[in-house]
Structure 1
Amino acid sequence: MEFLKQNPFVVLSPEGKEVENTSAETIHKLFVDVFDDFKSIPEQGHVFLNGPRGSGKSMMFRFLLPDCQLIDKKKTQYNELPFFGIHIPIKLTSINNPEFDLVKDFGDYIFNEHILTMYFAELIFNSFTTLNYNNLEKSTDDLTAEIVAFYNKSFVRKLKLCGWNNQEDYDFNPKNPKEAFDIISQICFEVFTEATQYLKRNVANKSKGDQSSNVIYNGALCDYLSFLYPILKELKKLTIFPNKPIFLLVDDADNLSESQTVVLNTWVSYRSNAEVSLKISTQLNYKTYNTISGTNIDSPHDYFDINILSVYTSSKAIYNTRIRQIVQKRFEYFFERIDIDPEYFFPQDLNQIEEINKQKKLIAENFEKEGRGYRENDDIQRYAVSNYIKSLKGNSKSGHTFSYSGFNQLVNISSGIIRHFLTPAAKMFNNQYRNLKLKDPAIRYVDITQIPPSVQNEEIRDYSIKQIFDEYDKLNQDINQIKSDPKYLSKVERLRNLINGLGGLFHSYLISDRSERRVFSFAISGYPDPDLIEIINLGIRFGYFHKHTIGNKEGTGRTRLYILSRILAPCFFLDPSSFAGYKFFTSEKLLQATYRPDRFIREMTISSSDLGDLTLFNNQLDEN
């Protein structure tokens, strides 16, 4: 891929079609299973894969598609694979037009299941048109004959049972497998379109107040059990496909309407995973786990639940190793060399390291008289960077000259989201290429073998600040959210205030004389206010917070721990190097921060003490 040959850190974004358009060979070369639970996805069973935008979900699904699996499993035939993956992206298109929610009296679940079924079917058959039909064990003529038999005996029969009566409109005499699947895909699309047009017309009539002109629907009504599931079972009998589970890789299921989400949950509840497994990715905004019957689907009873960010918050070492592997694979592809060390490519600021080492030496020399911890190394870890940032206050405002550079520092800042590493790294690479090109027009992309600390620091600061300003502007322009939730804009503004309050307070702690200065997390003491939890959950959904559990303050149970994303560290001049400590707040104080962050910072700084602060060790975290 040319874009990967111009910049090794380019993000393979599904929105830009890079993931779909990238060759299987390239995907296979670059893929790294970024978390231990990845092996659970290819196993039989329904799976929910949860993580913020940019955490690698689409790349994982791309790796599970047949072309990549042929390479990974060293096979030549599709029917030799242990499963057959089909990508089902849920995008903001006609499938989930918010205006459909206006029509609640037209068989809500029945119609939404029909729409979802035909949307899936159209994508499934369309995906078969992209398969490689060369070098098959059977001739293409024989396979075409199999598909014709499937069409007549299974597809048409099932569709007729669901009320379809348009067979005479189609002359099914395909010349090859691709043409056969293309015709079937087109039929599914037209059945889908007939249903959505019916809804649109009735929505239009209702919006005009014309209840007497409701359109009558006489088309098919398909569902999972009577159409999609048996069709998929019959497809597995075609010689090109393995007689193994079909994986429907449902990407970004948060985009489904609430009714469609209920329908999808109902499919999960059927436990048809021996034949068809649903692998469902979400961006932490899945609307409900209800089914049509009113019951909930539960993990692990009905599905296996995976949170991608758990690898970061439970073990930074594992996440660092994964990012290192991703970078090394990209270097190998880009430079066609394997001897470039990521730490060499992203060097630390040596002057800063020297100054921090001086602070470490001072702490060690004064430990016997002034030490606060049990061990000398504890004080060095807690206070060296803090003291250095404080020393910068005399040279510039708020420690602005602290350098966020070095591979490990950039990994920490990415906070478990791969895109938070790759996107700024790509900008650093482009910046350095531009700088060198001005000095030497003959410079090539592959001549860049190191990014100076100053360039790293400039780009990661800019990226961090944009998370507060540019990303919030995008949230404020989300028309669908604004329509569906009258309080949405207020929630976004209050979330921004909360983040500014916490970020500002944590910076004041860092440059204070407190014993625990590196605070990045907080918990709520007492009963958590529902209004506050709603704001915090919005922050989790957008990737500003991660959540886990810890022992509560009274020692009688467990409570939620909320970790501020380290991508905000450069914006608030924080030290992203460890999980450090956490602070208990009352709901009242945090609610104050959602309205008046400056007052929250001022009052919490004045009343600041180490009471209510605890040091956070990795083994205290429970994933939840």
Structure 2
Amino acid sequence: MKTIAENPFRVHTPESLSAEEVVKLYVSEMPGADAVHSAGDTMVVGSRGTGKSMMLRYLEPDCQLLVQNHKSQVRITDIDYYALYVTIKQTDLIYPELESLEGTFADRPVNEHFLILILVWKAVSRCIDQGTLDFAKKNTLDTENSKLFKLLNNFVDYDGQKPKTDFDLFLSLVDYLADLHAASLQYLDEILADPDTTPKFETVLLRFSTFLLPFLEAWVGLEGMPRTRKLFIIIDDADYLNEMQTKILNTYVSTRQSYIFFKIASEIYQYKTFSTLDGRRIEVPHDFAEINTVDIYTSNTTRGYEARLTRIIDKRLELYNFDRSKTGRIANAEQFFPEDGKQKSEISKLRREISTGAHKVTSGASRPRDNAYRYAIPEYIRLLGGEKKSRSNYSYSGYNQLVNISSGIPRYFLEAAYLMYDRMKALHDGEFTFIDPSVQNTVVREQAERIVMEELERLKLSDTHLDGSSATAVLLHNLIISLGSFFQVSLLDTQATERRYFSFALSQTPTPDLEKVLRFGVRNSMFTRTTIGRKEGFGRTHRYILTRRVAPYFTLDPNGFTAYKFLTNSALERMMHDPDGFRQELRRKTADGGIGPLFDGLEDQ
């Protein structure tokens, strides 16, 4: 039997993957992928781990050449666009010294200089390293007619060694920008020496109109570039830009060039501003298309998250050649993560009994089949409790259940699967054909406990400038504990017509403090936000879905969240500020024979 040396579920940084690996692992059915591949500026927004970077890495020329490999002798001229990739997180743009320029005459030009310098330097260097500029080695330089040479000749000192090809021009440019970067850093040193003064900038200032735009125009016009003359400027992790740099980038987007397009990725709620330098605001769809990579629902009836994740897992198993058996068949996702057989059989039996009326439940549905779907797992979990309170025996295993627990973010599934695989490898000395249900259950339970007991604690220690202090994280922790407890009690309430809760809707406009906590929760993937019709029927309100990664911590059913509660500000404020009192009342109400209406602010959908 074949085994694999490397864990197939390892999460790699996409920009470090080879083109072959990216093309083999990439799943094209990403929400909004068509907009990213099309002409036009695009903003890709989503939580960490939703596939933003992989989507953008796939656009680079080395990947697109492989995508087109069904054609003979594919060249750069044959691909649809030429993409330059830069991730801000791995650049030298995050300089605190630049913040001291705020309010001075130097703020805009110096920030723009550093932004252009880093973008061009890193993008050209990456293309040289990947070999996607090799076509320019064949372009014998015509110095009299070359737009690229005429432009760079104003900046680059060739020391008497005139370049002979376009490729030589790019090599000289990289050397020049490296030297310019070193000289520019001296300016930051001067700021540190005397933060109260604005030193004179002694080096060349790079600007959009006099350097960046002419340079990109000359590049896209080179012989050997795509015939479509489309150039994509990919800026990943754009939320790492400071506010002035973000305004500068927005201004570039607002110019709406006919063949140069910006593809920008940012984590949700992290992009600093949508304002331009002159105070205008770039908006959807007038200035750019927006893609949200977070899938609210995990079923195949919406945006196909389950089908997309299945392709991701199947591709990984195939790439690493993991055999299901000695016949050579490659395992697929569902086979590789089987459900606990005994539990599956018992739930199926209970589902049949509910649908036939043999097992009575408080009906919230008009059809017995719907009752079986709604109540089988909640009843099974309740019955596991018994006198010994053994609900912890519920097994969070099986591929479909793991998909739901991942809450619409592929990385969460991969991180769990990575740990499961390593544990199986240790237990079975590398010889196994599937992940044992007990291992699946153990890992997701450990992860749920880590999220509630450690990850939220780490957020309390963070002092993010976006939220002022760690007090926001404390309130978020309290809210999650309160909601999880309430959803657990609801699941076990035999008198309730709805028992599977994982979300709530706002019945009022949230207070500023509540809004801050909820946004902080969304930004840190503790909630996902969508909209829903208001209870009174006028307009829409926000609905927040608790991450289903915490389902094992509270022993909840992660396989659906069709039910939700309308909550008032006062109810949410009590959950945040008095979680112990809230849970005490939950226990008292439960002891009295059912939770009923806990507070005026808790209402069924």
User: Structure 1 residues 10, 473: closer, same or farther in 2, change over 3 A?
Assistant: same
2:379 matched residue in structure 1: 387
Alignment of 1:132-281 (within 5 A): 132=131, 136=135, 140=137, 142-143=139-140, 149=146, 152-157=149-154, 159=155, 167-168=156-157, 170=159, 172-173=161-162, 180-206=169-195, 211=197, 214-243=198-227, 244-272=229-257, 274-281=258-265
Greater displacement, 598-607 / 575-584 = 598-607
Letter of the aligned partner of 1:153 in structure 2? K
Q: Which of 452, 460, 466 is residue 468 of structure 1 equivalent to? A: 452
Between the aligned partners of 1:600 and 1:365, the Cα distance in structure 2 is 38
1:332 matched residue in structure 2: 318
User: Structure 1 residues 199, 431: closer, same or farther in 2, change over 3 A?
Assistant: same
2:17 matched residue in structure 1: 22
Normalising by structure 1, report the TM-score. 0.86
TM superposition shift of 1:67: 0.8
Alignment of 1:576-587 (within 5 A): 576-587=558-569
SS at the partner of 2:214?
Answer: helix
Q: Which of 449, 453, 461 is residue 437 of structure 2 equivalent to? A: 453
TM superposition shift of 1:393: 1.7
TM superposition shift of 1:59: 0.9
Q: Which of 507, 511, 516 is residue 534 of structure 1 equivalent to? A: 516
Query: Does the CA-based 8 Å contact 1:522-1:585 persist in structure 2?
Result: yes
Between the aligned partners of 1:175 and 1:473, the Cα distance in structure 2 is 59
Query: Does the CA-based 8 Å contact 2:232-2:262 persist in structure 1?
Result: yes
What do residues 436-482 of structure 1 show as CA deviations (whole Å, max 9, x unaligned)? 11xxxxx4xxx43111100111111122222233333543455xx54
Between the aligned partners of 2:158 and 2:359, the Cα distance in structure 1 is 90
Between the aligned partners of 1:40 and 1:4, the Cα distance in structure 2 is 37
1:351 matched residue in structure 2: 342
2:107 matched residue in structure 1: 108
Does 1:124 pair with 2:123? Answer: yes
Query: Does the CA-based 8 Å contact 1:467-1:568 persist in structure 2?
Result: yes
- Which has a greater percent of helix? 1
SS at the partner of 1:404?
Answer: coil
Seq. identity, %: 34
Query: Does the CA-based 8 Å contact 2:15-2:53 persist in structure 1?
Result: no
TM superposition shift of 1:343: 1.6
TM superposition shift of 1:503: 1.4
Query: Does the CA-based 8 Å contact 1:94-1:196 persist in structure 2?
Result: no
Between the aligned partners of 2:265 and 2:134, the Cα distance in structure 1 is 34
Between the aligned partners of 2:492 and 2:360, the Cα distance in structure 1 is 21
1:374 matched residue in structure 2: 366
2:401 matched residue in structure 1: 409
User: Structure 1 residues 370, 283: closer, same or farther in 2, change over 3 A?
Assistant: closer
SS at the partner of 1:361?
Answer: helix
Letter of the aligned partner of 2:170 in structure 1? F
User: Structure 1 residues 173, 333: closer, same or farther in 2, change over 3 A?
Assistant: same
Letter of the aligned partner of 1:9 in structure 2? F
Query: Does the CA-based 8 Å contact 2:527-2:544 persist in structure 1?
Result: yes
Between the aligned partners of 2:286 and 2:403, the Cα distance in structure 1 is 35
TM superposition shift of 1:589: 1.5
Does 1:362 pair with 2:343? Answer: no
Between the aligned partners of 2:130 and 2:143, the Cα distance in structure 1 is 16
User: Structure 1 residues 185, 612: closer, same or farther in 2, change over 3 A?
Assistant: same
Does 1:549 pair with 2:535? Answer: no
1:162 matched residue in structure 2: none
TM superposition shift of 1:612: 2.3
Aligned residues, how many?
580
SS at the partner of 2:317?
Answer: helix
Does 1:96 pair with 2:94? Answer: yes
Between the aligned partners of 2:114 and 2:181, the Cα distance in structure 1 is 6
TM superposition shift of 1:569: 1.4
Between the aligned partners of 1:61 and 1:4, the Cα distance in structure 2 is 28
User: Structure 1 residues 252, 168: closer, same or farther in 2, change over 3 A?
Assistant: closer
Query: Does the CA-based 8 Å contact 1:406-1:453 persist in structure 2?
Result: yes
Does 1:31 pair with 2:32? Answer: no
Query: Does the CA-based 8 Å contact 2:489-2:586 persist in structure 1?
Result: no
User: Structure 1 residues 303, 365: closer, same or farther in 2, change over 3 A?
Assistant: same
User: Structure 1 residues 613, 339: closer, same or farther in 2, change over 3 A?
Assistant: same
User: Structure 1 residues 216, 303: closer, same or farther in 2, change over 3 A?
Assistant: same
Query: Does the CA-based 8 Å contact 1:66-1:84 persist in structure 2?
Result: yes
User: Structure 1 residues 411, 252: closer, same or farther in 2, change over 3 A?
Assistant: same
SS at the partner of 1:235?
Answer: helix
Alignment of 1:463-502 (within 5 A): 463-476=447-460, 478=462, 481-482=463-464, 484-485=465-466, 487-502=468-483
Query: Does the CA-based 8 Å contact 1:146-1:238 persist in structure 2?
Result: no
Between the aligned partners of 2:18 and 2:214, the Cα distance in structure 1 is 32
SS at the partner of 1:91?
Answer: helix
Alignment of 1:500-519 (within 5 A): 500-513=481-494, 514-519=496-501
Mind listing any 5+ residue stretches in structure 2 that lack a counterpart?
Answer: 323-327, 590-594
SS at the partner of 1:488?
Answer: coil
Between the aligned partners of 2:493 and 2:289, the Cα distance in structure 1 is 45
User: Structure 1 residues 365, 252: closer, same or farther in 2, change over 3 A?
Assistant: same
Between the aligned partners of 2:419 and 2:266, the Cα distance in structure 1 is 27
Between the aligned partners of 2:457 and 2:164, the Cα distance in structure 1 is 52
User: Structure 1 residues 52, 368: closer, same or farther in 2, change over 3 A?
Assistant: closer
User: Structure 1 residues 131, 6: closer, same or farther in 2, change over 3 A?
Assistant: closer
Between the aligned partners of 2:132 and 2:534, the Cα distance in structure 1 is 60
Letter of the aligned partner of 2:113 in structure 1? H
What do residues 229-278 of structure 1 show as CA deviations (whole Å, max 9, x unaligned)? 12101011222322421111110111111111111111111111x22111
Query: Does the CA-based 8 Å contact 1:519-1:581 persist in structure 2?
Result: yes
TM superposition shift of 1:396: 5.2
Greater displacement, 183-192 / 77-86 = 183-192
Q: Which runs of 4+ in 1 moved over 4 A?
A: 133-136, 143-151, 167-180, 313-317, 336-339, 367-371, 395-398
Q: Which of 305, 308, 311 is residue 319 of structure 1 equivalent to? A: 305
TM superposition shift of 1:370: 5.3
User: Structure 1 residues 135, 127: closer, same or farther in 2, change over 3 A?
Assistant: closer
Query: Does the CA-based 8 Å contact 1:328-1:338 persist in structure 2?
Result: no
Does 1:609 pair with 2:601? Answer: no
SS at the partner of 2:129?
Answer: coil
1:432 matched residue in structure 2: 424
Between the aligned partners of 1:147 and 1:54, the Cα distance in structure 2 is 49
Greater displacement, 98-107 / 56-65 = 98-107
Normalising by structure 2, report the TM-score. 0.89
User: Structure 1 residues 352, 608: closer, same or farther in 2, change over 3 A?
Assistant: same
2:551 matched residue in structure 1: 569
Between the aligned partners of 2:59 and 2:291, the Cα distance in structure 1 is 16
Query: Does the CA-based 8 Å contact 2:354-2:372 persist in structure 1?
Result: yes
Between the aligned partners of 1:135 and 1:194, the Cα distance in structure 2 is 29
Mind listing any 5+ residue stretches in structure 1 that lack a counterpart?
Answer: 160-166, 438-442, 615-624
2:592 matched residue in structure 1: none
User: Structure 1 residues 177, 574: closer, same or farther in 2, change over 3 A?
Assistant: farther
SS at the partner of 1:306?
Answer: strand
Between the aligned partners of 1:357 and 1:541, the Cα distance in structure 2 is 38
